[in-house]
Structure 1
Amino acid sequence: MFENQTEEAIKQRILDRIDNSISKIEGTLTYDAISPTSIELAQTYINLGYIASKLDVDSLEGTELEQRVKERTGIERKPATKATTNVVIHGNIRSEIKKGDIVGSSSVNFISLENKAIGEEGYMNVNVQCEKSGTVGNVPTGAINFFPISIPGLSSVNNPDPVTNGYDAESDKSLLERYYAKVRTPATSGNRHHYENWAKEVIGVGDAKIIPLWNGNGTVKIVIVNQNKMVADDELVQKVFSYIEDVRPIGATITVTSATPQNIDIDSIVTLAPGYQMNDVLNKFKEEVESYRKDMAFKDNYISYAAIGNILFNIKGVLDYKDLKLNNKMESIVLGEEEVPIINSVNLAVM
């Protein structure tokens, strides 16, 4: 905005305003007297440019973005959450686990949320919580499988289901999207935008689709995905239902469900550049595909065959590819209105 307001430009303008009868060449008293002023004025313009940039919400990030969004809309950044799950513990009858005892996976530990003892059946179900916030607690089935500190009478531990409800703090991108959704869409009197905003206000919700009149007059269906753009668990579905039930207009009947998964298998054959390892290429491809999946989930109604091919071709170390298939077909995958794409497997072979 003020890029042209440099020290030299300001100094020259000042010199031009001084009568030519006065010597103003470099080294004179006049020249030396205006130099500090030029420097300070140039810095003032730099500061003005910085301040002006803060007037544009798109240029803000972190705490500054949080403050501006909250001031204008009341929307607050969703905090990180600690993943919770149920584990099955086997051992001797009447052996106990206490609140605060630890069970572990290879990447992170989980803490028992309750005091419990093994019954006659020889095992017990225990609710546990990840010791760290964020997606680090999202571990696959069977990953929680040992006791970091031995507990007398307990022999084994296992999580029968994958853990999916650990969420990182809401990103600047997501917060900004909710901000614009609030200021650009008229959410009034329980219309579609109102229900969508309500759903997204619940911690753990990544996106929502609203289906009005889905089961007759006065009915509204809210389909959600979690913050990781995955299938929402029953606990999150119930949280959304309870929240909206308290704020919805009188007379509306709401139904909240999770999106259904559309599993996607990706297979292809690639030519690697010299010096590149398949594991590195495969991991980077998985990372980029997952980023694409999250970006388009609940926004596009298909997984693009061309987009996946473009991602693969642009992975560093890939010279070429052939026989790219999505679910064994060389075509895009169409998604139903209530479906969310889930990358089930990614397999790359070398030509």
Structure 2
Amino acid sequence: MLEYLESQSFDSILTELLERVPDDIDKREGSVIYDALAPTALKIAETYWDMAVLYRRTFAATADGDDLEKRVNEHGVERKKAGKAIRRALFSDGDGQPLDVAIDSQFKLDAIVYKVSERIEAGEYKVEALTAGSVGNKDYGEMLPIEANDKLGKAILADVLVPGEDEETDESLYYKFIDHIREKTFGGNRADYKKKLMAIQGVGGVRLRRAPFGGGTVKAIIIDSDFNVPTTDFVSYVQELMDPLEFKGEGYGTAPIGHEVTVEGVRKNEITVESELVLNGSTIGQIEAQVIGTLEEYFAELRANWFKDFDINVRITHIESRLLKIEGIEDIASTLLNGLDKNINLIEDIPVLSNVTLREVST
């Protein structure tokens, strides 16, 4: 249907209209009949185009933006909104001693402002990024106060407690909708657990394991929204929401009563890459940064697919095919992963690039 609608162009419609006119009438461009039919053909073509657009907007598989959101909302599926990062911040006075600061006071690092939201202990607070999204997870270091504070020596923005999260993409929303249709959520089944965990800000993926510690137990392994190993604090936060440790199985979290849930963070597997390169018009020093960036991008793509619950395979052929696209690399003599000439298969872990060693060899 869509293919037909999109095939109805001005030229094809005009040709069809002119074919209906007797051949003894002048139908050449500029003739009376041609000039009379051309505006009609244009209007019909525009109508077909509008119909094609409406057709695409009607179905979840081809809709995007607000249209996709409205379509999936009919089935109770919501787009995950952008969330603000919650970070740990350390405050000290001019002598380096812990300093208490006012709740709601604000501090800035680069372009992001963080508001003090909760006291943890002397000189240690939770701060919330005022800008929603993953941008609040990125920077570390010394912040500057928005308002003058004579007692302040240093304000240090430390680790991420709850990762900030960008608004869910159309692609992610569509696949969530498909999962919702295919796997009905009900009373603590697998789909129900996945839906509840993925709704938590900062959770980027989850794998579920049945009865790891006996009947009635569930293990949820999570990755953060940046597709990295979640912090211990964030794992504890998710555990508290799902099934608080002090009331395991009592139903005080979102897990059904009688289900003892253990939340764990995905583990990382550090991988070293060694490559012998045949170079053309470049040196190791000139291409090293680009090689590392290319490898980091490849590993990030693998981590982003961890939630699919398939093994992750770090493949030498994939690495080499990407490196060969870098200008200045003519050929690759060998590539080793963790010192071995073999791919690495990861069942539960995610790959993290640990070290890169590059050597130039001659042909």
TM-score by length of 1: 0.81
Displacement after TM superposition at 1:289 (Å): 1.9
Aligned residue for 1:79?
81
CA contact (8 A) 1:205 1:225 kept: yes
* Structure 2 residue 190 is matched with structure 1 residue 195: no
Quick one: which amino acid aligns to residue 229 of structure 1?
F
* Structure 2 residue 305 is matched with structure 1 residue 303: no
* Structure 2 residue 265 is matched with structure 1 residue 258: yes
Quick one: which amino acid aligns to residue 137 of structure 1?
G
CA contact (8 A) 1:97 1:151 kept: no
Which 10-residue stretch deviates more, 258-267 or 315-324?
315-324
Displacement after TM superposition at 1:282 (Å): 3.5
Aligned residue for 1:112?
116
Aligned residue for 1:50?
53
Q: Select the residue among 281, 302, 318 that pairs with 1:293.
A: 302
Query: Residues 70 and 302 (structure 1 numbering): CA distance in 2 closer, same or farther, change over 3 Å?
Result: same
Listed one character per residue, the Cα deviations across residues 143-202 of structure 1 (whole Å, up to 9, x for unaligned) are 322435663122233345467712222222222221111112243443323322222222
Aligned residue for 2:342?
331
How far apart in 2 are the matches of 1:211 and 1:320? 43
CA contact (8 A) 2:208 2:220 kept: yes
How far apart in 2 are the matches of 1:67 and 1:153? 52
How far apart in 2 are the matches of 1:146 and 1:344? 29
Within 5 Å, which residues of 2 pair with 1:14-53? Answer: 14-20=17-23, 22-53=25-56
Query: Residues 165 and 151 (structure 1 numbering): CA distance in 2 closer, same or farther, change over 3 Å?
Result: same
SS at match of 1:33: helix
Identity %: 25
Displacement after TM superposition at 1:41 (Å): 0.9
CA contact (8 A) 1:137 1:163 kept: no
* Structure 2 residue 312 is matched with structure 1 residue 312: no
Aligned residue for 1:121?
none
CA contact (8 A) 1:11 1:34 kept: yes
Within 5 Å, which residues of 2 pair with 1:1-351? Answer: 1=3, 2-20=5-23, 22-71=25-74, 73-91=75-93, 92=95, 96-105=100-109, 108-114=112-118, 124-139=123-138, 143-147=140-144, 151-159=149-157, 161=159, 165-233=163-231, 234-239=233-238, 242-243=241-242, 245=251, 246-274=253-281, 277-278=286-287, 280-282=289-291, 284-298=293-307, 299-306=309-316, 307-337=318-348, 339-348=349-358
Displacement after TM superposition at 1:79 (Å): 1.8
Listed one character per residue, the Cα deviations across residues 18-74 of structure 1 (whole Å, up to 9, x for unaligned) are 344655454443332222111111111121222222234233323322222222x32
Query: Residues 271 and 169 (structure 1 numbering): CA distance in 2 closer, same or farther, change over 3 Å?
Result: farther
How far apart in 2 are the matches of 1:146 and 1:203? 25
CA RMSD of aligned residues (A): 3.3
CA contact (8 A) 2:291 2:323 kept: no
Quick one: which amino acid aligns to residue 132 of structure 1?
T
How far apart in 2 are the matches of 1:290 and 1:4? 42
Quick one: which amino acid aligns to residue 336 of structure 2?
K
How far apart in 2 are the matches of 1:259 and 1:3? 46
Listed one character per residue, the Cα deviations across residues 252-272 of structure 1 (whole Å, up to 9, x for unaligned) are 332222222223333434455
CA contact (8 A) 1:240 1:256 kept: yes
Query: Residues 10 and 158 (structure 1 numbering): CA distance in 2 closer, same or farther, change over 3 Å?
Result: closer
CA contact (8 A) 1:98 1:114 kept: no
CA contact (8 A) 1:269 1:322 kept: yes
Query: Residues 69 and 311 (structure 1 numbering): CA distance in 2 closer, same or farther, change over 3 Å?
Result: farther
SS at match of 2:153: strand
Structure 2: runs of 5+ lacking an equivalent: 244-250
SS at match of 1:54: helix
SS at match of 1:181: helix
CA contact (8 A) 2:277 2:329 kept: yes
Displacement after TM superposition at 1:285 (Å): 0.9
Displacement after TM superposition at 1:317 (Å): 4.6
Listed one character per residue, the Cα deviations across residues 191-241 of structure 1 (whole Å, up to 9, x for unaligned) are 323322222222221111111122222222221111122223333553365
CA contact (8 A) 1:110 1:128 kept: yes
TM-score by length of 2: 0.79
Listed one character per residue, the Cα deviations across residues 125-148 of structure 1 (whole Å, up to 9, x for unaligned) are 1222234322222246xx322435
CA contact (8 A) 1:186 1:193 kept: yes
